[in-house]
């Protein structure tokens, strides 16, 4: 059997290695257009910033090492220009000498990946404007910085690459501005959770121009003007486009392979395309979202590796199936960690899924053990069925551990209230006896059993301030004096029983505290004394972060952003 693989990196290289492990006699040939067949794509921003110092550390395998270990013929700087399914051959161009060759195959794997979106703007071809996708792109940016010592950069796009680049350029001492059409960074997160990300970026000197549209570029005074719709231009020494990627499927289209959303390659759960004996994996393929069951594009290394393995299994006579992705991801943002899995609330609502949520602010480990840090968790579930839909966590320690537990719970079909039953490891330096994931389950269980009723930030603007309801802050007088929500009176939770006669039992009581715990206790006291009480999801810490972020986004101007 002869297998030809178009494209290396995560999907293609994984498929090649897996095929060899399953079939020692197979002939395996890989064609890669770039000069690198297996590299750490996610590490590229950290090489630019100097965290990864040696460029060789970016290369996971070389053609020579792949041959020594797997006897796979890795051909770099070779571009497949045509596929001929009728003859089971591909036409290949050697990019180093221009020679054209024909290669036959029994099975073909497409792993072309995705390409950076580069809009057709005036001035887009300036040598001061870059994209980041390949190792070669990385070297171009690094060489430009070393040669020209730019003092400022504008990043177009606030996704994973944009934020990682912003951090690394800022660590080099550059003045960095992120411009993005959406009014928040990081689309996997809901706007309320993104407020913590915005705060961390601003704290480290990153300027945010959210809700602004780029319309073009113009070189001026040795740098680049970034032209914005209805705003004055931004000027910088360099610009990096990180506004997203699109499936690289020109070859598949020309071959007549069925395409799906955004021109992606349609595959079944065995990673087979619409043409016999041709498989496809990685960022270029359309998959099913595990939570929604809908077609999706998930451009992450983990799914690409799984798909490469599944395609290899099936090529070698197995019966492996890809059951869908759920977009589990994590990112370092200076000192902070942000992670998500499944779908967010915005997506759930757009799909018409009846959704409920809990928001909590637990400590990363036992409070009595030094060094614990607070995190913010948002867990989404479907009303009535309690099916877990997704989770978002932002904090400093232990975030990755909890998101992985929740990602596993979603995959296993655990009900949201069954998070209470998870037996998770505990020692004071690592967790609490009630792990944050368990805590989320306890809150949901209380909601299910009618023990607690919640109110949410989005209800704040519509809450009547006319005395028809009671607004109660149960923090200490000191905490209250440092900031509180409009119209809330202050009765500390430990004084509530003695002062309960100050409240009107005929009125609903909306309760808030710093993290949600004291207000929950206050709610139980109130309910036990005949009141109708609602506890605020997330606490004043969450409320204040969202409110302040909205205010900053509203008042920030491009001539003095976030001052």
Residues with catalytic roles: 42
How far apart, in whole angstroms, are the C-alpha atoms of residue 413 and residue 423? 16
Is 535 within 8 Å of 507 (Cβ atoms)? Answer: no
Locus of tokens 């000069």: 35
How far apart, in whole angstroms, are the C-alpha atoms of residue 275 and residue 265? 11
How far apart, in whole angstroms, are the C-alpha atoms of residue 536 and residue 520? 8
Beginning with the edge strand found earlier in the chain, give each strand of the sheet holding 2-6 in spatial order.
Answer: 73-76, 27-32, 2-6, 107-110, 278-280
Is 330 within 8 Å of 339 (Cβ atoms)? Answer: yes
Residues 6+ apart with CB under 8 A from 312: 14, 15, 16, 18, 19, 22
**CA dist 345 → 381, 382, 392 (Å):** 9, 10, 10
Strand partners, 102: 91
Is 242 within 8 Å of 156 (Cβ atoms)? Answer: yes
Strand partners, 107: 3
Q: What is the largest CA-CA distance in the chain?
A: 90
Tokens found for residue 151: 């003092």
How far apart, in whole angstroms, are the C-alpha atoms of residue 56 and residue 54? 5
How far apart, in whole angstroms, are the C-alpha atoms of residue 223 and residue 431? 49
How far apart, in whole angstroms, are the C-alpha atoms of residue 488 and residue 547? 15
**What DSSP character marks residue 292?**
T
Helix 436-448 with 399-412: angle, nearest 10 deg: 50
User: 30 phi and psi, to 5 degrees?
Assistant: -115, 135
How far apart, in whole angstroms, are the C-alpha atoms of residue 411 and residue 305? 18
How far apart, in whole angstroms, are the C-alpha atoms of residue 492 and residue 529? 17
H/E stretch holding 288 reads: strand 285-288
Residues 6+ apart with CB under 8 A from 458: none
**CA dist 194 → 183, 205, 344, 364, 513 (Å):** 10, 17, 12, 20, 21
**What DSSP character marks residue 467?**
S
How far apart, in whole angstroms, are the C-alpha atoms of residue 301 and residue 310? 14
């Amino acid at each position: 059997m002869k297998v030809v693989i178009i494209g290396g990196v995560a999907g293609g290289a994984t498929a090649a290695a897996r095929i060899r492990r399953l079939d020692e006699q197979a002939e395996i040939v890989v064609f890669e257009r770039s000069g690198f067949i297996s590299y750490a794509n996610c590490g590229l921003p950290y090489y630019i910033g100097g965290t990864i110092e040696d460029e060789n550390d970016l290369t996971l395998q070389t053609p020579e090492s792949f041959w020594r270990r797997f006897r796979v013929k890795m051909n770099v700087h070779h571009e497949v220009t045509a596929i001929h399914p009728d003859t089971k051959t591909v036409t290949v161009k050697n990019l180093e000498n221009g020679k054209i060759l024909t290669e036959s195959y029994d099975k073909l794997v497409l792993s072309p990946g995705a390409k950076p979106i580069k809009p057709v703007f005036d001035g887009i071809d300036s040598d001061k404007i870059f994209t980041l996708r390949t190792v070669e792109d990385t070297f171009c940016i690094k060489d430009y910085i070393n040669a020209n010592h730019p003092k400022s950069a504008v990043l177009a796009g606030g996704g994973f690459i944009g934020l990682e680049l912003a951090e690394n350029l800022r660590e080099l001492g550059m003045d960095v501005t992120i411009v993005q059409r959406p009014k928040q960074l990081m689309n996997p997160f809901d706007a309320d959770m993104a407020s913590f990300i915005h705060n961390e970026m601003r704290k480290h000197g990153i300027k945010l121009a959210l809700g602004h549209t780029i319309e073009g570029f113009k070189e001026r005074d040795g740098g680049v003007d970034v032209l914005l719709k209805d705003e004055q231009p931004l000027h910088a020494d360099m610009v990096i486009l990180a506004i997203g990627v699109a499936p690289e499927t020109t070859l598949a289209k020309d071959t007549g392979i069925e395409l799906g959303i955004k021109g992606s390659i349609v595959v079944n759960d065995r990673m087979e395309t619409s043409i016999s004996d041709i498989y496809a994996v990685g960022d270029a393929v359309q998959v099913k979202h595990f939570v929604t069951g809908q077609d999706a594009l998930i451009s992450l290394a983990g799914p690409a590796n799984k798909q490469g393995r599944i395609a290899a299994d099936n090529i070698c006579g197995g019966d492996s199936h890809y059951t869908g992705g759920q977009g589990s991801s994590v990112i370092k943002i200076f000192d902070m960690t942000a992670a998500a899995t499944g779908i967010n609330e915005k997506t759930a609502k757009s799909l018409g899924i009846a959704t409920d949520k809990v928001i909590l602010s637990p400590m990363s480990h036992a409070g009595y053990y030094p060094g614990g840090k607070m995190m913010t968790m948002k867990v989404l579930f479907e009303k009535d069925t309690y099916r877990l839909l997704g989770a978002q966590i932002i904090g400093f320690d232990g975030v990755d551990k909890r998101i992985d537990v929740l990602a596993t719970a979603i995959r296993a079909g655990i009900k949201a209230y069954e998070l209470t039953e998870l037996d998770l490891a505990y020692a004071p330096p690592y967790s609490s006896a009630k792990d944050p994931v368990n805590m989320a389950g306890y809150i949901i269980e209380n909601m299910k059993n009618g023990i607690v009723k919640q109110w949410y930030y989005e209800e704040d603007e519509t809450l009547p301030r006319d005395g028809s309801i009671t607004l109660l802050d149960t923090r200490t007088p000191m905490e209250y004096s440092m900031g509180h929500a409009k119209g809330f009176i202050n009765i500390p939770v430990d004084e509530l029983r003695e002062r309960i006669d100050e409240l009107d039992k005929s009125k609903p009581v909306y309760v808030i505290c710093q993290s949600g715990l004291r207000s929950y206790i206050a709610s139980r006291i109130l309910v036990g004394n005949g009141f109708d009480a609602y506890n605020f999801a997330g606490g004043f810490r969450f409320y204040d972060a969202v409110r302040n972020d909205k205010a900053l986004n509203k008042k920030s101007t491009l001539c003095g952003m976030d001052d």
